[in-house]
A and B are shown apart, each in its own frame.
Chain A
Amino acid sequence: GENVEQHPSTLSVQEGDSAVIKCTYSDSASNYFPWYKQELGKRPQLIIDIRSNVGEKKDQRIAVTLNKTAKHFSLHITETQPEDSAVYFCAAGRGGSNYKLTFGKGTLLTVNP
């Protein structure tokens, strides 16, 4: 089955700096890569996703890049703010619209004011 590795497990940055979280996956058939943000005690929420037919996607301060050859994808957050502090999960999925997702173990991002 699919295996998703996520690094780092914790990341601390100063407000205004950039943060990068990296994930690798094992199943070359995976074609959908979402990123979820989970604040303490709350539900995971989708912040951005990318499909295997594109290499990069941006949404304001958030971007995701995908390297299918190397089987890795990354989340980039620019101009970080204290409210960006949360656990971020990457996931990989395959199939049509009913993706079976395998999640990474998460990255605890702390943005210090």
Chain B
Amino acid sequence: EAGVAQSPRYKIIEKRQSVAFWCNPISGHATLYWYQQILGQGPKLLIQFQNNGVVDDSQLPKDRFSAERLKGVDSTLKIQPAKLEDSAVYLCASSLGLAGRGEQFFGPGTRLTVL
């Protein structure tokens, strides 16, 4: 079974620039999560999708971050404009959703550096 795929793996941008990350979850997984992991900390949930609907985005900084999952499969997370404090690893995870027992499978992450 293929795992969660993410791209790019690394990205370096200047502050105030825009950046987008892509995630392809495990086939058949209805629930998709985006996490932000700052160095030395645990992952922090940004947004959770069930199919193509948003379940929770309470910790997403909506003035600069946006995410979509248009067809209930792939998802993109965008930052516009980026700030220095956005430097982190952005992890995508997926789970079976209501049909499963809750286990979340993580992708390899995208390491973002904002200069």
B98 interface residue, CB < 8 Å from A? yes
Interface residues of B in 30-53 (CB under 8 A from A): 31, 40-45, 48, 50
Interface stretch (choices A14-22, A70-78, A101-109): A101-109
Interface stretch (choices B19-27, B62-70, B72-80, B104-112): B104-112
Q: Mark B4-35, 1 if CB is under 8 A from A, else 0.
A: 10000000000000000000000000010000
Interface residues of A in 25-82 (CB under 8 A from B): 32, 34, 36, 42-46, 49
In Å, the complex CA distance between A1 and B58 comes to 10
A89 touches B43 (CB 8 A): yes
A98 touches B55 (CB 8 A): yes
In Å, the complex CA distance between A96 and B101 comes to 8
Interface size on A, residues (CB 8 A): 26
Tell me how far the C-beta of A39 lies from the nearest C-beta in chain B, rounded to whole angstroms: 12
Report chain B residues within 8 Å CB of A1: 58
Interface size on B, residues (CB 8 A): 29
B42 touches A105 (CB 8 A): yes
Tell me how far the C-beta of B108 lies from the nearest C-beta in chain A, rounded to whole angstroms: 5
Interface residues of B in 59-101 (CB under 8 A from A): 91, 95-101
B43 touches A98 (CB 8 A): no
In Å, the complex CA distance between A104 and B42 comes to 6
A105 touches B98 (CB 8 A): no
Interface residues of A in 83-102 (CB under 8 A from B): 89, 91, 93, 96-102
In Å, the complex CA distance between A8 and B44 comes to 19
A98 touches B103 (CB 8 A): no
In Å, the complex CA distance between A1 and B103 comes to 21
Report chain B residues within 8 Å CB of A36: 106
B residues neighboring A (CB under 8 Å) = 4, 31, 40-45, 48, 50, 55-56, 58, 91, 95-109
